[in-house]
Amino acid sequence: MSIMVERTSLDGAVSIVTGAGGDIGSGIATELASAGSDIVIADVDVLETAYNQQSSQEVSGATRAQAVVEQIEDQGQRAHVVECNVTKPEQVDALIDETVSEFGGLDLLVNNAGIITVTPVEEMAADEWDSIMDVNAKGVFLVSKAAIPHLRESEGSIINTASIAGDIGAAGLGHYCASKHAVLGLTKSLSLELAPDVTVNAICPGIVQTPMWEDVLTPELEESYEETIERVIPMGRDQTPDDMGRLAVFLAENRNITGQAVTVDGGILQNVI
Ligand code: NAD
């Protein structure tokens, strides 16, 4: 008896997912792998800045990414971790070179690495502002720029992990909201610059239980994580890394969607009254 293998448009594709040692990125990487793509994960263990959601320089992203690689290899796809700080142009260039030389090309770039702190603007040091903007916004620019020649060649896609913070303001998150608004502006502009070769879209998660919430946002609120979910999400449940992964596959497979930001928030942004 022959086994039917379901073919998708991601069969044989090569994808880079930045920050896939973390939860949302690993959800995206494993869903892309399930759809047939090989995966290169770009992540770091240590940031030069103290400003990240783990309140130290340690993020352990590249180390955690090894477990994601094993999971993807178990799914039958090739996977590989490259230690790459998305704010460093020379490391970004090496990431793209290594991907193309080892995997033979590049079809999809998912700019997902991101960090967060909570500080009112009146108390914010300039280097805290810079740290958040560097990873969340400049990192998207740097990795996209380096990847574009290969993505044009393969008629590929860019998917950026933005946030509902790209749509709204939030007290204490001026820098983070500014960075995610920047990602959406870049997404829309790049979609015009790269058409008709490359599609460029954004995913805007609502609330996903990752270190961003556990280490930073929940401790700031005078309620539990579960109470936040119940208060702000009309659908009554948080969103998952798999939600973001399935949307990434959908966007990567569709050549007629570009310049869009798709929100996956269970209705949070409609919940104003
Ligand atoms: P996470 O901390 O689990 O993952 C982030 C990953 O990015 C980590 O593995 C970290 O090591 C990596 N990273 C940080 N700085 C980096 C750098 N300079 N270079 C390379 N890698 C770097 O967080 P997450 O919640 O999975 O966040 C993923 C993305 O989703 C972020 O862009 C975040 O802003 C966005 N987001 C998260 C939520 C949420 O509720 N968790 C909501 C909206 C948007």
Residue 216 has pLDDT above 90, yes or no: no
Residue 6 has pLDDT above 50, yes or no: no
Range of the domain at 199: 14-210+241-261
Distance from C-alpha of 230 to C-alpha of 234, rounded to nearest angstrom: 8
Is residue 55 a part of any domain in this protein? yes
Task: Determine the pLDDT at residue 272.
Answer: 85
The answer, as to whether pTM is greater than 0.85, is: yes
> What is the helix (H) or strand (E) element at residue 23, kind and residue range?
helix 23-34
Query: What is the Å distance from ligand 1's center to 6 Cα?
Result: 31
Q: Is the CB of 16 under 6 A from ligand 1?
A: no
Q: Is the CB of 229 under 6 A from ligand 1?
A: no
Is residue 92 a part of any domain in this protein? yes
> Which of 261, 246, 168, 270 is CA-nearest to residue 10?
246
Task: Determine the pLDDT at residue 207.
Answer: 97
Position with higher pLDDT, 273 vs 223: 223
> 183-186: which pairs have CB atoms within 8 A and are 24 or more residues apart?
183/111, 183/136, 183/137, 183/140, 184/261, 186/137, 186/140, 186/141, 186/144, 186/160
Q: What is the pLDDT of residues 158-209, one digit of tens each?
A: 999 999 999 999 999 999 999 999 999 999 999 999 999 999 999 999 999 9
Residue 222 has pLDDT above 50, yes or no: yes
Task: Determine the pLDDT at residue 8.
Answer: 53
> Which of 32, 15, 24 is CA-nearest to residue 156?
15
In the chain, the number of structural domains is: 1
Probe residue for ligand 1, chosen from 115, 138, 175, 215 as the CB with the greatest number of ligand atoms within 8 Å: 115
Is residue 58 a part of any domain in this protein? yes
Is residue 224 a part of any domain in this protein? no
Is residue 246 a part of any domain in this protein? yes
Is residue 220 a part of any domain in this protein? no
Task: Give the pLDDT band of residue 9 (cuts 50, 70, 90).
Answer: confident
- Nearest-CA residue for ligand 1 atom 31 is 114
The overall average pLDDT reported for the chain is 94
Task: Determine the pLDDT at residue 58.
Answer: 85
Query: Is there a contact between 193 and 254 (Cβ–Cβ < 8 Å)?
Result: no
Q: What is the pLDDT of residues 77-134, one digit of tens each?
A: 999 999 999 999 999 999 999 999 999 999 999 999 999 999 999 999 999 999 999 9
Task: Determine the pLDDT at residue 2.
Answer: 43
Task: Determine the pLDDT at residue 55.
Answer: 78
Task: Determine the pLDDT at residue 152.
Answer: 98
Distance from C-alpha of 146 to C-alpha of 14, rounded to nearest angstrom: 15
Is residue 118 a part of any domain in this protein? yes
Q: Is the CB of 213 under 6 A from ligand 1?
A: yes
The two three-digit tokens of residue 168, written as one number: 């709204």
Among all residues, which ones are annotated catalytic?
176
Sign (positive/negative) of CA torsion 263, 115, 146, 192? positive
The two three-digit tokens of residue 66, written as one number: 């090894």
> What is the helix (H) or strand (E) element at residue 272, kind and residue range?
none
Percent of the chain at pLDDT > 70 equals 97
Residue 7 has pLDDT above 80, yes or no: no
Is residue 35 a part of any domain in this protein? yes
Query: What is the Å distance from ligand 1's center to 116 Cα?
Result: 8
The two three-digit tokens of residue 41, written as one number: 């994960």
Probe residue for ligand 1, chosen from 18, 23, 24 as the CB with the greatest number of ligand atoms within 8 Å: 24
Residue 131: which CATH number?
Answer: 3.40.50.720
From the CA of 136, give the closest atom in ligand 1: 32
